[in-house]
Chain A
């Protein structure tokens, strides 16, 4: 058909000058895949062990990484503010643990309880980001630190101090403030255990993966609806969206709220698998690791897909497992690998943000040179 021909031709046209750029963009996942393979060779780990560790970590982290996609599509960049979603989940978790609701019903209650909290946090974040247009990423990062302060205040002083807590098992000995670590006995594996396959070392939490897949489909579906179209429109050009009658600020807030809810559920899945809540630490690295993962998958500040999220999570966590083992083999010191992975996480974020700034500058310059 002639139309199809035109279309492929146009595609080719648009991509031709992009071949170099395209390579640069895909170079990130390629480099990490190579690193993983080299690391695996050095570490000489058992494949089954690798597979089971990666599976567990994928189940734990995928939804958190997915939660970054909608803000990227809406032009807000990488939302470090998902930390607030994680906090919402943890507040809900503490409440449910306090009430001693257990099992899958406990999980569901926690999930439901975290929604209004996330909506509120997301709404706040969205409003603040609307005042910081153009600097969303750094603002969301700072917001995360600020929120962390309030979170600590809540858990260290308010609970037990101002709000009386009946159940003392999760409280510090003084009765004021929550313990450093709270064992989520009743909720451990609450979701994973619904359906899972066990083979030797390998445990595959089928049901958790089903939930994650449903969420992925939900995100895909959402982006194809009227709402999704509006979000994408805002992401491409706020001025045009405004002039077409779209309420830009509202759309941006919506995107952040959705992201925060997904992050809360993601953190919940994460913690039910681990089974222990580090009251003052579990949420800290959430934004950092999720962002690093999606970037390794080849996403950029302006473009992210489910596929990139999955690929990136896989590569990032493979590296996470392999690098201490490789470090152990090479210099007899697993700590080296630890440093390496922290280095990788921060490095990849710094690099891609730098690259993004550079690309933006280049684009402006190209525009200028006609």
Chain B
């Protein structure tokens, strides 16, 4: 058997006295796909940051343990060194420059250059960019991934799925790569997109590139990984080869207890089900990659409505349009009131809230505390947690703190306390803060896009349960957009399927798989609708 390309030996890491990695050992051979799984905050990203020489590690006191690359002991102190060695990484948070084009991003700091008169005298740095060749390379990388998007578009405003693919394209475009690290690459992808990605991963591995892959979708692990390392609270609690692994086993090891499958509890009816809380008429939303062409939809008070459909057909655009994040036209009536479109503030103040699918893009104030992040929108939009004395608003800190404490407990946010700044949370725990912020508004109607994206199996259940609880105990109407049909079917009262920017039909959650399949493929009318 060939020898490992990378070996991490006895890695320990402390963040401000908090031990987040304890004697971790991982090694990967060329051509191997190695999955790293664990709960939110288990230390997966931290381990990868160490491997990639990220500045956060060195600015917080470094780490102990040894790293061997290709059999040699190495000391990687900057991303540049890592890259020079042939390590590529797709980070959990985006590393794309919004003002640059897709091509420029893919070729970032690896631009193809050509000589000109000046560069012959003054040297390499004065070379001009060979945009045409760069464009071709970018096109090739995008084609490998099966992403059909114009490579000269600027990255700003692209849907998250596309951004993720651009990041991946950037890594596979590197020619000297020997080890690729993917930190939750599929978290923001739909199932279909993830499928494309997994194929690309297999192809890459077959060329001899070693792949380290972090994900919370355990069935993906089963599909592509050769070996699996399971982390819990910074410790390796299991190493499995694929043959001996199963989703249940991994989940149990990760969490340290058995996980129940998400199941809908018997739902109490909450009265006036027939009243419409939201009426959407002829909504058009200009969201690149997720265009809504003409959707009319009625939402009943107190229901959980699912919005499903294939990627790129516009299901994501609906919530974004109603909440005013992307330019839209049409009519939206909420509780008999017309909502001003293209005006997020209006939508918020009328009692709607939104957990966006793009939680990295419109996400958090990273330098602020958890409690402030959770409470600020509610303070600004609704004047919650504020007391007005002599014309000046005072924040009721103790109220905010108590509220934050409660939510931290409810959502199982792993942190040192409500005052911790959000930059120091793990990616999944940051996502939970986004959900917490929307819930703090106590909206009458909550839009949630991809609620369990990037969240570990244990926390997934917590989030779904919380949504159910909000719905049943507080009568909150919830509209969930998700690319996981199973998730929708487990909690929704009705599921609307969007096809080609239009509403294809509405199905009950217990409808046949074939009905769902047909509708998603545009087979209108063949499937039975619920009234």
A contacts, CB < 8 Å to B: 3, 6-7, 9-10, 13-14, 16-17, 221-222, 224-227, 229-230, 232-233, 236-237, 239-247, 364-370
Instruction: Establish whether residues A226 and B124, one from each chain, have CB atoms under 8 Å apart when the complex forms.
Output: yes
Shortest Cβ distance from B55 into A: residue: A242
Q: Are A240 and B95 in contact (CB under 8 A)?
A: yes
CB contact under 8 A between A240 and B97, given known A13-B286, A225-B119, A369-B348: yes
Q: Smallest distance from the beta carbon of B290 to chain A beta carbons, Å?
A: 12
Interface of B is mostly: loop
Task: From known contacts A226-B127, A226-B129, infer whether A10 and B154 are also in contact, taking CB-CB under 8 Å.
Answer: yes
Across the interface, do B126 and A247 meet the contact criterion of CB distance under 8 Å? no
In the complex, are the beta carbons of A368 and B376 less than 8 A apart? yes
- Asked, given contacts A225-B125, A226-B113, A229-B104, whether A370 binds B323 with beta carbons under 8 Å apart, the answer is yes
Known A229-B129, A368-B376; 17 more pairs at CB < 8 Å = A7-B150, A7-B152, A9-B288, A224-B128, A226-B126, A226-B127, A227-B126, A232-B100, A233-B97, A239-B55, A240-B108, A243-B52, A244-B109, A245-B78, A245-B109, A365-B380, A370-B354
Residues in B whose Cβ lies below 8 Å from that of A226: 111, 113, 124-129
Contacting A236 at CB < 8 Å: which of B98, B126, B342, B362? B98
| 4 closest Cβ pairs, A-B complex | A245-B80, A227-B125, A244-B109, A236-B97
Q: Which residue of chain B lies nearest to A369 when distances are taken between CB atoms in the complex?
A: B344
Bound together, the chains give a CA A325 to CA B325 distance in angstroms of: 51
Instruction: Assess the A3–B104 pair: CB atoms within 8 A.
Output: no
Q: Using a Cβ cutoff of 8 Å, how many contacts connect chains A and B? A: 114
Tell me the minimal C-beta distance from B414 to chain A in angstroms: 23
Determine whether the beta carbon of B118 is less than 8 Å from that of A221.
yes
CA–CA, A301 to B150, complex, Å? 31
Contacts of B128 on A, CB cut-off 8 Å? Answer: 224-226
Nearest chain A CB to B79 CB, angstrom units: 5
- Whether the pair A3, B109 counts as a contact (CB closer than 8 A) is no
Contacts of B363 in A (CB 8 A): 367
The answer to whether B440 has its CB under 8 Å from any CB of chain A is no
- Does B485 sit within 8 A of A, measured CB to CB? no
Which B residues touch A14, using CB under 8 A?
Answer: 154, 156-157
- Pick from B52, B54, B150, B354: contact of A3, CB under 8 Å: B150
- B377 on the A face (CB < 8 A): yes
**Inter-subunit contact A369/B380 (CB<8 Å):** yes
Does B125 contact A10, Cβ atoms closer than 8 Å?
A: no
B381 within 8 A of A: yes
Cβ of B124: which chain A residues have Cβ within 8 Å of it? 226
**Contact across chains for B54 and A368 when beta carbons are under 8 A apart:** no
How close is B382's CB to chain A, nearest CB, in angstroms?
12
Q: A229-B111, A236-B97, A364-B365 are in contact. Are A6 and B354 (CB under 8 A)?
A: no
A237 touches which of B97, B157, B376 (Cβ 8 Å) = B97
28 contacts between A and B (CB under 8 A): A3-B152, A9-B288, A13-B288, A17-B342, A224-B129, A225-B113, A225-B125, A229-B104, A230-B125, A240-B108, A242-B78, A242-B79, A243-B95, A244-B95, A244-B109, A245-B78, A245-B80, A245-B83, A247-B80, A364-B365, A367-B362, A367-B365, A368-B376, A368-B380, A369-B344, A369-B380, A369-B381, A370-B354
- State how many angstroms separate the Cβ of B331 from the closest Cβ of chain A: 19
Contact B129 A243 (CB under 8 A): no
- Provide the bound-state CA to CA distance between A129 and B119, in Å: 28
Q: Once the chains bind, are A230 and B129 in contact (CB under 8 Å)? A: no
Most buried by B among A7, A222, A369: A369
- The answer for the CA separation of A366 and B286 in the assembled complex, in Å, is 19
> Could you tell me the distance in whole angstroms from the C-beta of A118 to the nearest C-beta in chain B?
17
Asked if B356 CB lies within 8 Å of chain A CBs, one says yes
User: Do the beta carbons of A244 and B79 come within 8 Å of each other?
Assistant: yes
Residues 347-382 of B at the A interface (beta carbon under 8 Å)? 348, 354, 356, 362-363, 365, 376-377, 380-381
Please, how many angstroms separate the alpha-carbon atoms of A17 and B324 in the complex? 11
Nearest residue, chain A, Cβ from B107? A229
Q: Does B153 contact A (CB under 8 A)?
A: yes
* Measured CA separation A51–B104 after assembly (Å): 43
Complex CA distance for A241 and B154, rounded to whole angstroms: 17
Inter-chain contact A370/B344, CB cutoff 8 Å: yes
In the assembly, what is the distance between CA of A16 and CA of B124, in Å? 40
Which partner residue on chain A sits nearest B81 by CB separation?
A245
**Distance to closest chain B CB from A225 (angstroms):** 5
Q: A14-B157, A16-B327, A367-B362 are in contact. Are A243 and B91 (CB under 8 A)?
A: yes
B183 to chain A, nearest CB (A): 12
Q: Chain B 59-100, CB within 8 Å of chain A: the 1/0 string?
A: 000000000000000000011100110000001000111111
Given A17-B327, A244-B109, are A370 and B126 also a contact pair (CB < 8 Å)?
no
Cα of A222 to Cα of B126 in the assembled complex, Å: 7
Asked if residues A233 and B129 are in contact (CB atoms below 8 Å), the reply is no
Interface residues of B in 212-254 (CB under 8 A from A): none
Closest to A238 in B: B55
A6 vs B291: C-alpha distance when bound (angstroms): 13
Q: How far is the CB of B259 from chain A (nearest CB, A)?
A: 31
What is the chain B residue whose CB lies nearest that of A11? Answer: B154
Q: Which of B109, B152, B377 makes the CB contact (< 8 A) with A246? A: B109
* Minimum C-beta distance from A341 to chain B (A): 35
Q: Which residues of A contact B79 (CB under 8 A)?
A: 242-245
Tell me how far the C-beta of A261 lies from the nearest C-beta in chain B, rounded to whole angstroms. 14
Evaluate contact between A233 and B109: CB separation under 8 angstroms. yes
Identify the closest chain A residue to B342 (Cβ).
A17
Contact of A10 with B153 in the complex, beta carbons under 8 Å: yes
| A10-B153, A10-B154, A245-B109 known; A370-B365 Cβ under 8 A | no
Q: Report B-chain residues with C-beta under 8 Å of the C-beta of A16.
A: 327
Nearest residue in B to A364 (C-beta to C-beta)? B365
**Closest chain B CB from A58 CB (angstroms):** 27
Query: Would you give the shortest CB distance from B32 to chain A, in whole angstroms?
Result: 25
Complex partner residue of B153 from A7, A224, A227, A365, CB under 8 angstroms: A7
Name the A residues within 8 Å of B344 (CB-CB): 366, 369-370
For A6, the chain B residues whose CB sits under 8 A away are 150, 153
Return the CB mask of B480-493 against A: 1 if under 8 Å, else 0.
00000000000000
Q: Does B345 contact A (CB under 8 A)?
A: yes
Which residue of the partner chain A has the closest CB to B127?
A226
Smallest CB-CB separation from B326: which chain A residue?
A13
